[in-house]
Chains A and B, each alone.
Chain A
């Protein structure tokens, strides 16, 4: 019994020691520099070269480096990471004196809004999420509108009357893509069947798993679908590769103009069009505003009207249906067509 008490005492003592040790000492935020070092950019999973969404943001900072002469510090999220890790990444950037600090992707929604409160003099930006703090700029896009337009293109181009949609993760953001696309297809030709599937129900791996997207596309093609729209970040490269192997099948890209992506060059003849989300414009505008000393504030929405989203025409594959696309664009801008945000 005595041994037990001794052990308990030892454990308590160690715990107490550990706690007191925690309470003292310099914190890492106290020892950071203050001078503005440029732009801090935190990518979502997939990183700078995802040919899609992160890469669009990177184009914005690249442009800012060239035209505004600012420096950029880039960091990338890992799979399965938690809130604590995202908070730390943003804190590291802000503490080191980067301004603005931009989180790419809605995963940073909570952490950006939280960390921003500790750095009131720094402007924070978050792509795809709302701002809940004074010094946070929330940059959101009307993905459903661009998706509607590529839906029109898909409906016009299909020969089998079967088209499909692959989403990376079944969350509210990707559902926006799905809703717009399905509506665009159905409005154009109600007889067309749309097959919808998601890579993952709840894991962010969906934006970082090209192999799974490749398999899913294979199945869809085998079932006779001949136009596939993939909204899944880096995973999209997998389905585009698979689709390019089948003659007469079309892939629709997402976020960036994927026809022009270096990494996808081999498959570009299969890329019908892309629903482009001008993250680069949004990011550039934010950096410029900080540089000019008049930082943006609050929520900024980028829709078809502001050319925040658009449809890519590279390759000329949709030139023949340009009239239909333009007509749909007008109707959306004028408000005649209301594109739903959820399926």
Chain B
């Protein structure tokens, strides 16, 4: 109970809100400056964005767009929590979606069963693709940053090889795509007007809950975070770091495998040359923005959808097309920097509070008292965290 009280004390709330507020304010000011520098009125731009972005069809569009972003961010975040930088989500989801589409187009099982098979294949292929990087890291010591980015490129070539008419694809106008998934095996839509919301939003919600529960409430999640904080400490307390590396890469890949599902099961029903690419990289930005938090990432994914939706309208209103890309970059930078500033400020205040307490006790120089030890602990934990942020940024 006291923990809960601590969590919601005025100061804690202030601290929690300070960083996002600071980030949003800075991002707002900087974006305005950029728009003004292009010779346009920034306030009209924000008006257009809010007005257009809040329309009912925009809301649906934004939610549908955010689903793959959220899944992608969750996949990246699983790695982040363990200090693993999985840049390979992009390749993982594309390979996964491709083979899932091939299997889905070839089978004709009862609907629900086939959807299950497609999703399982996607997760398995994604897990396998990411697992390669995990195994290489544990057995050969190759950095996952290098392997995953190379596997992205291999994924592209692999798909390109199979995505031709004499192999696994059919020709449709100028496009090649895998055989279309039968109607029975498509995911349901949530009927809203004027356009429906993709039913795959449920998958995103389930993954969000699972992410929160497994990482925050289980022994496995604790081990994973422990390895992320300090490998040596974790292995000293009996956690097999190697197994954790492979397991979390596999998990990250399995979630990455789901990224293509909203498009595959709700929109395109096949994997073609026009299948979305680059969502894996968007996921990195969203995981950073959402601070690896299940709800934070959901908000970040929606924000991204909102920016992309309104960006087209901005172009329509005569603003430069690139403005939205600039805004996205500014927001991510502001968030990363703001959290670091708030963290340092809080740390400094804690330190001076501890210092004041110590000098009040009149024992300068003596490392006595539980407070001092705690402060030291807090400091070292914080510095590992900042090191981690440094590697991930």
Q: Which of B61, B316, B321 has the most CB of A within 10 A?
A: B316
Contact A173 B58 (CB under 8 A): no
Q: How far is the CA of A27 from the CA of B55 in the complex (A)?
A: 5
Contact A27 B156 (CB under 8 A): no
Q: Provide a sorted-by-A list of 26 A–B residue pairs whose CB atoms are within 8 angstroms.
A: A19-B197, A22-B192, A22-B197, A25-B59, A26-B55, A27-B194, A29-B194, A75-B315, A75-B321, A79-B278, A83-B267, A83-B268, A83-B274, A83-B276, A88-B309, A92-B316, A93-B316, A96-B316, A106-B174, A109-B175, A129-B174, A172-B175, A201-B156, A201-B157, A201-B159, A201-B163
For B, the interface residue count at a CB cutoff of 8 angstroms equals 46
Instruction: Determine which of B157, B163, B173, B276 lies in contact with A106 in the assembled complex, contact meaning CB atoms within 8 Å.
Output: B173
Contact A29 B175 (CB under 8 A): no
Contact B278 A172 (CB under 8 A): no
**Given the interface contacts A107-B274, A130-B173, does A84 sit within 8 Å of B64 by beta carbon?**
yes
Instruction: Decide yes or no whether B313 CB sits under 8 A from chain A.
Output: yes
268-310 of chain B: CB within 8 A of chain A: 268, 273-274, 276-278, 308-309
Q: Mark B125-164, 1 if CB is under 8 A from A, else 0.
A: 0000000000000000000000000000000110111010
Contact B193 A23 (CB under 8 A): yes
Contact B60 A25 (CB under 8 A): no
Q: How far is the CA of A24 from the CA of B54 in the complex (A)?
A: 11
Instruction: Decide yes or no whether B9 CB sits under 8 A from chain A.
Output: no
A296 to chain B minimum Cβ distance, whole angstroms, is 19
Q: Mark B172-200, 1 if CB is under 8 A from A, else 0.
A: 01111000000000000010111001000
Which residues does chain A contribute within 8 Å of B86, judged by CB atoms? none
Which residues does chain A contribute within 8 Å of B316, judged by CB atoms? 73, 75, 92-93, 96
Q: How far is the CA of A29 from the CA of B58 in the complex (A)?
A: 10
Q: How far is the CA of A25 from the CA of B56 in the complex (A)?
A: 5
Q: In the complex, what residue of chain B is closest to A18 when comparing beta carbons?
A: B63
Instruction: Decide yes or no whether A203 CB sits under 8 A from chain B.
Output: yes
Instruction: Decide yes or no whether A189 CB sits under 8 A from chain B.
Output: no
Q: How far is the CA of A171 from the CA of B197 in the complex (A)?
A: 32
Q: How far is the CA of A76 from the CA of B278 in the complex (A)?
A: 19
Contact A76 B321 (CB under 8 A): yes
Which residues does chain B contribute within 8 Å of A73, judged by CB atoms? 316
Instruction: Decide yes or no whether B252 CB sits under 8 A from chain A.
Output: no
Instruction: Decide yes or no whether A334 CB sits under 8 A from chain B.
Output: no
Sample of 13 further A-B pairs with CB below 8 A, known A19-B190, A22-B63, A78-B325: A21-B59, A22-B192, A25-B55, A25-B56, A26-B56, A29-B57, A73-B316, A82-B263, A83-B276, A96-B316, A171-B175, A173-B174, A202-B159
Q: In the complex, what residue of chain B is closest to A89 when comparing beta carbons?
A: B312
In the A-B complex, list the 6 residue pairs whose CB atoms are closest, starting with the nearest.
A201-B160, A80-B278, A28-B55, A106-B174, A173-B174, A25-B56
B136 to chain A minimum Cβ distance, whole angstroms, is 24
Contact B55 A172 (CB under 8 A): no
Q: In the complex, what residue of chain A is closest to B208 when comparing beta carbons?
A: A11
Contact A84 B61 (CB under 8 A): yes
A323 to chain B minimum Cβ distance, whole angstroms, is 34
Q: Mark A51-91, 1 if CB is under 8 A from B, else 0.
A: 00000000000000000000001011011101111001100
Contact A202 B156 (CB under 8 A): yes
Contact A19 B54 (CB under 8 A): no
101-135 of chain A: CB within 8 A of chain B: 106-107, 109-110, 128-130
Q: How far is the CA of A83 from the CA of B267 in the complex (A)?
A: 9
Instruction: Determine which of A22, A78, A109 lies in contact with B60 in the assembled complex, contact meaning CB atoms within 8 Å.
Output: A22
A116 to chain B minimum Cβ distance, whole angstroms, is 15
Instruction: Decide yes or no whether B52 CB sits under 8 A from chain A.
Output: yes
**Given the interface contacts A82-B263, A84-B65, A172-B176, does A202 sit within 8 Å of B160 by beta carbon?**
yes
Contact B308 A85 (CB under 8 A): yes
**Given the interface contacts A27-B57, A29-B57, does A171 sit within 8 Å of B174 by beta carbon?**
yes
Q: In the complex, what residue of chain B is closest to A109 when comparing beta carbons?
A: B173
Q: How far is the CA of A22 from the CA of B55 in the complex (A)?
A: 9
A92 to chain B minimum Cβ distance, whole angstroms, is 5
Instruction: Decide yes or no whether A170 CB sits under 8 A from chain B.
Output: yes
Q: In the complex, what residue of chain B is closest to A80 when comparing beta carbons?
A: B278
A95 to chain B minimum Cβ distance, whole angstroms, is 10
Which residues does chain A contribute within 8 Å of B61, judged by CB atoms? 84, 88
Instruction: Decide yes or no whether B205 CB sits under 8 A from chain A.
Output: yes
Which residues does chain B contribute within 8 Å of A171, judged by CB atoms? 174-176, 273
Q: How far is the CA of A23 from the CA of B321 in the complex (A)?
A: 29
Q: How far is the CA of A327 from the CA of B268 in the complex (A)?
A: 46
